[in-house]
Amino acid sequence: MIEILTIKAEERLKDYGEGPLTRQLMLSLLKNYKRPNDKIAELVSSGVLTTVKKGLYIAGPKSS
């Protein structure tokens, strides 16, 4: 089930293309998660997101 949720999160990120993603935007995209901050951290550690600076992200090398 966790894998399915990760896929859904990655699909939502595709809608925002190459632009920067703020933490607030990420939290709104992940509002159905119990712990959205943990999900953001997981996406960063897995390479789907790259941190530009605190609270600002771009698509990482492993994003599709």
Q: Is the pTM for the entire model greater than 0.95?
A: no
Three-class DSSP category at 31: coil
CATH number for region 2-59? 1.10.10
Say yes or no to pLDDT of 7 above 60: no
| Residue 3 φ/ψ, nearest 5 degrees | -60, -40
Q: For residue 4, what pLDDT is reported?
A: 44
Q: For residue 37, what pLDDT is reported?
A: 92
Let me know: does 53 contact 22? Beta carbons within 8 Å.
no
Let me know: does 36 contact 30? Beta carbons within 8 Å.
yes
Each residue's pLDDT tens digit, 30-52: 888 899 999 899 989 988 888 99
Mark residue 18 as left, alpha or beta (left: phi above 0; alpha: psi -120 to 50; beta: remaining). alpha
